[in-house]
Amino acid sequence: MPDQLLYAIEVTLNGLMAGVLYSLVALGFVLIFKASGIFNYAQGVMALFSAMTLVGIMDGQVPFSHLINAIFGTDIHHFGWHVPAIVAILLTAVVMTAFAWAVNQVIFKHLVNQEPIILFMATIGLAYFLEGFGDLMWGSDIKSLDVGLPQGGSFWIEENTAWLGGEGFYGFFIDQLDMVATVVAVILVAVLVAFSQYTKQGRALRAVADDHQAALSVGISLSYIWVLVWSIAGFVALVAGIMWGTKSGVQFSLSLIALKALPVLMLGGFTSIPGAIVGGLIVGVGEKLFEFLVGPMIGGATENWFAYVLALIFLVFRPQGLFGERIIERV
C-alpha cells in the first residue's frame, strides 16, 4: 500500500479516537439538555472542577488552604496522605453528586418553568462561579494527574503494522490513552443506555425528558430527577476530566474543552446520546483528515474552525442534528 494512503488511515484512526474524547464532553451536555432542556454552559468547567477535586483528594491537598492560611496565619497545605486513584474517583463522584444537589437547591429549584434563555444564563453564572470556587478550593497551579492510565504510542501496533508500507512508513501510531478513552466511552454509553432502559430511575428520567408535566402528574419528582441527571453529568465530566487532564495536566484550560463539544452537539443533536458519539467521531475524523489533506496547502491550524464549518453544513440540512428529535409545533 502507498505510504500516503497508510498515513491517511492513521490520521483517520487518530481522528476517530480524538472524536471519542470530544464525545465524552458532549455527552454531559446531552444528558442535561435531554432531561431538563437546559444547555449547560458550565459542563466544561464541571470537567475542570471534577479533575481538580480528584487530584486534590489523591494528593491529600487541604481544600481552601490558601484562604485558611491567609485568614488564620497558618501554613497548612497537605494532610500528608495519598489516596488510591479508585477511592479518589469514588469520592470525587460523591462530591459531584453533592454539587448536583446544591445546584438544584440553590439555582434550578427556583427557576422551574422559566424560559430556556434564563436557564442558560443561570448556567453561565454557574460556570464563572465554579471557576473561581475551584481556584479558591484547590489553587490555580497546573496539577499532574496520574490515575495509572498508559500514555504514548503503542509499540506493539507500530511494530506489527510497519511492514504494511515502504521505508517511509513507521507503522501506525495509536496513543494508548486514546485506546483507553475509547473503551471507557463505550462502557459509559452502554451503562447509560442500560440505566435509562432498564432501571426505574432511568424510565423516570426518560419520562421527564419526554414531557415533564406528564411525568409530574404521575408522581415523578422533578427535583429528584434533576439532581440525578446533574450527578450523572458530573460523573461524565469527571471521566472527560480524567482523560483530558492526563494529557495536559489539570489546569484552567481544561474548561475550554467545551469548545470542542459544541460542533459535536450541532452535528449529533442536543438530545441524542448516540448522536453525541457519532457526532464526535465525524468531527474528529473530519477535522483531522482536512488538516492532513488540505491544511498544508493553506497554512495549517484548520482544526478549530473546520469542526464548526462541518457542523454548520450539517445544521443547514438537518437543524435538529443527525439524531436530534425533529421539532414539530402544531397550531
Partner 1 sequence: MKLKLATLALGAVMAAAPALADLVIPSLSYRTGPYAPNGIPVADGFADYLTLLNERDGGIGGVPIRMIECETGYNTEKGVECYESTKGEGSLVYSPLSTGITYQLIPKASADGIPVHSMGYGRTSAANGKVFEWVFNHPATYWDGASIAIKHIMEQEGGDISGKKIALVYHNSAYGKEPIRTLEELAKKHGYELTLLPVDHPGQEQKSQWLQIRRERPDYVLMWGWGVMNQVAIQEAANIRFPMDHFIGVWWSGSENDTLPAGAGADGYKALALANPGTNYPLFDELKTYVYDKGLSAGAGDQHGYVLYNRGVYQAMLTTEAVRKAQEIHGVADITPAMMRDGLEALEITEERMAELGLPEFGPAFSLSCENHGGSGLAKIQQWDAGSKTWSVVTDWIASDRSIIDPLIAEDSQAYAAENGIEERCN
Work out whether the CA dihedral 87, 91, 92, 97 comes out positive or negative: positive
Coil/strand/helix, residue 250:
strand
- Which of 14, 53, 123, 231 is in the footprint of partner 1 by CB under 8 A? 14
Residue 43 is a binding residue for partner 1 (CB under 8 A): no
Least distance between partner 1 and beta carbon 176 (Å): 9
Burial class (CB in 10 A: 0-12, 13-18, 19+), 152: exposed
**Is residue 151 a contact point for partner 1 (CB under 8 A)?**
yes
Q: In this structure, what is the dihedral angle of CA atoms 243, 183, 226, 279, given to the nearest 10 degrees? A: 90
52, 257, 262, 278: which one binds partner 1 (CB under 8 A): 257
34 interacts with partner 1 by CB under 8 A: no
Closest distance to partner 1 from the beta carbon of 128 (Å)? 10
What sections of the chain are H helices per DSSP?
A: 3-36, 43-59, 65-72, 85-106, 116-138, 155-161, 176-198, 200-210, 212-217, 222-248, 258-268, 273-293, 303-317
3 versus 325: smaller Cβ distance to partner 1: 3
Neighbours of 112 (CB within 10 A): 13
Residue carrying the nine cell digits 470556587: 133
Q: In this chain, which of 12, 97, 201, 251 binds partner 1, going by CB under 8 A?
A: 251
- Number of amino acids touching partner 1 (CB under 8 A): 47
SS3 168: coil
Q: Find the shortest distance in angstroms from Cβ 218 to partner 1.
A: 44
Amino acid at 143: K
Measured distance CA(219)–CA(211) in Å, rounded: 13
Question: Angle at CA 210, nearest 5°, toward 204 and 216?
Answer: 55
Does 12 participate in binding partner 1 (rule CB under 8 A)? Answer: no
Between residue 176 and residue 235, which ones bind partner 1 under the rule CB under 8 A?
none
Q: Residue 120's closest CA among 238, 207, 33, 223?
A: 33
Distance in Å, CB of 265 to partner 1, minimum: 17
9-17, 205-213, 275-283, 310-318 -> range binding partner 1 (CB under 8 A)? 9-17
Residues 75-134 that bind partner 1 (CB under 8 A): 77, 132
Closer of 212 and 288 to partner 1 (Cβ): 288
Minimum gap (Å) between residue 161 Cβ and partner 1: 13
Coil, strand or helix: which one is 4?
A: helix
Segment interacting with partner 1 (CB under 8 A) among 181-189, 226-234, 243-251, 310-318: 243-251
Q: Which DSSP symbol is given to 60? A: T
Position 64 contacts partner 1 (CB under 8 A): no
288 lies in the site for partner 1, by CB under 8 A = yes
Q: Which three cell numbers stand for residue 103?
A: 445546584
247 touches partner 1 (CB under 8 A): yes
Three cell numbers, residue 178: 486514546
Give the sign of the dihedral formed by CA 230, CA 275, CA 290, CA 149. positive
Kindly state whether residue 252 participates in binding partner 1, applying the rule CB under 8 A. Answer: yes
Which of these segments, 93-101, 169-177, 184-192, 231-239, binds partner 1 (CB under 8 A)? Answer: 169-177
**Complex with partner 1: residue 16 or 315, whichever CB lies closer:** 16
- The residues that touch partner 1, with contacts defined as CB under 8 A, are 7, 10-11, 14, 18, 66, 69, 73, 77, 132, 135, 139-146, 151-153, 168, 170, 173, 175, 244, 247-249, 251-254, 256-257, 260, 287-288, 291-292, 295, 299-301, 303-304
